């Protein structure tokens, strides 16, 4: 039976995404590059892939989240709206494969678990209907496999487990699940549901806390709060965070600034301090909500609720090694 710990994240942790900082000692050293991310400079690190997707007409709602299945080369997009397909599936090259809409009410967060022993898609649902206030697991074709929480009923109870607007989640390769519960609802808490599979190297859990303008850091095993980065977010807090595949940098989305920022990751064993390496400034009112990073290629996929689309940014140099290789 799964076990869990609960760690309060503080009021205002409305839009949060979990990501882990691992020890990447086995990876090759990152080559020296001049990082100057701006659409007005010549030395850019990322470029917009204008050919992704091949046909943007499939985006018919408000695109809230995106998840990358690096193992199978798939990209999942969840969108909100009436009488539309809630989940769209594309290839990493931008070709549309399929869509599904079953048991999805109002998607907020999404994660694609893609390992040799686990291939699934997880969605947090903040809807008020029968499928709302739950965290749901699907297979790659959209069949519902598991439901966490009490469908259609929000609350604070642990037995039976209840959520109130579960915002985001992260599924570790061990099967452990981290869930941020409380997108403006009753709860402001971080769950860990453990499968008990041993795994080394993962040490820290990073939480994007937009409401309090900070990145919070927790110990992965004990849930102890270790500190926060806030000096980089005086204007706008982060709504999403991901590490690059080599663990050298964090990529964060800042919703109302329509900005992606590249931050230097701290040394292993320390939370360090926040340092902005460079930024990608998007057009006004694009509103990047959540993002995901392909662990093989380093490509960034950004769900933009203002522009109602997902865009792909690819590194100009393929320097990101495969996670775990």
Residue pair 252/306 in contact (Cβ under 8 Å)? The answer is: no
Task: Give the residues across from 217 on adjacent strands.
Answer: 206, 227
How far apart, in whole angstroms, are the C-alpha atoms of residue 310 and residue 54? 12
- What is the CA 240 to chain-centroid distance, rounded? 6
- Counting as low any pLDDT under 50, the low residues of the chain are 1-43, 196-201, 321-325
Question: What ranges make up the beta strands (E) of 182-322?
Answer: 189-194, 202-209, 214-219, 225-229, 240-243, 249-254, 259-264, 276-281, 288-293, 300-304, 309-315
pLDDT value for 283:
94
pLDDT for 185: 61
**For the chain, how many helices (H) and strands (E)?**
0, 24
pLDDT at position 202: 55
Provide the pLDDT for residue 10: 40
User: What domains sit in the chain, N to C, each tagged with a CATH number?
Assistant: 3-315 (2.120.10.30)
Residue 282: the pLDDT is 95
The closest alpha carbon to 179, from 239, 119, 136, belongs to: 136
């Amino acid at each position: 039976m799964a076990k869990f710990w609960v760690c309060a994240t503080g009021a205002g942790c409305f839009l949060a995404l979990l990501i882990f900082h691992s020890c990447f000692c086995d990876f090759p050293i990152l080559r020296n590059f001049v990082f100057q991310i701006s659409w007005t400079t010549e030395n850019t690190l990322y470029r917009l892939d204008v050919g992704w997707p091949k046909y943007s007409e499939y985006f018919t709602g408000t695109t809230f989240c995106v998840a990358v299945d690096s193992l199978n080369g798939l990209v999942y997009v969840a969108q909100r709206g009436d009488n539309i397909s809630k989940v769209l599936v594309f290839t990493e090259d931008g070709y549309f494969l399929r869509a599904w809409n079953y048991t999805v009410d109002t998607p907020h967060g999404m994660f694609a678990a893609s390992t040799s022993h686990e291939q699934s898609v997880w969605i947090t649902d903040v809807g008020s209907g029968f499928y709302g206030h739950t965290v749901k697991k699907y297979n790659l074709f959209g069949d519902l496999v598991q439901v966490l929480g009490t469908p259609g009923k929000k609350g604070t109870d642990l037995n039976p487990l209840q959520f109130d607007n579960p915002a985001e989640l992260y599924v570790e390769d061990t099967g452990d699940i981290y869930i941020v519960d409380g997108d403006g609802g009753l709860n402001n808490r971080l769950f860990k549901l453990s499968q008990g599979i041993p795994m080394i190297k993962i040490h820290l859990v990073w939480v994007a806390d937009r409401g309090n303008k900070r990145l919070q850091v927790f110990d992965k095993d004990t849930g102890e709060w270790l500190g926060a980065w806030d000096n980089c977010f005086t204007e706008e807090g982060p709504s999403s965070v991901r590490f690059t595949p080599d663990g050298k940098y964090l990529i964060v989305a800042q919703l109302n600034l329509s900005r992606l920022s590249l931050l230097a990751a701290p040394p292993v064993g320390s939370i360090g301090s926040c340092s902005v390496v460079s930024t990608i400034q998007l057009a006004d009112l694009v509103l990047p909500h959540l993002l995901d990073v392909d662990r093989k290629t380093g490509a960034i996929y950004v769900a933009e609720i203002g522009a109602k689309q997902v865009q792909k940014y690819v590194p100009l140099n393929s320097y990101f090694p495969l996670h775990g290789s």
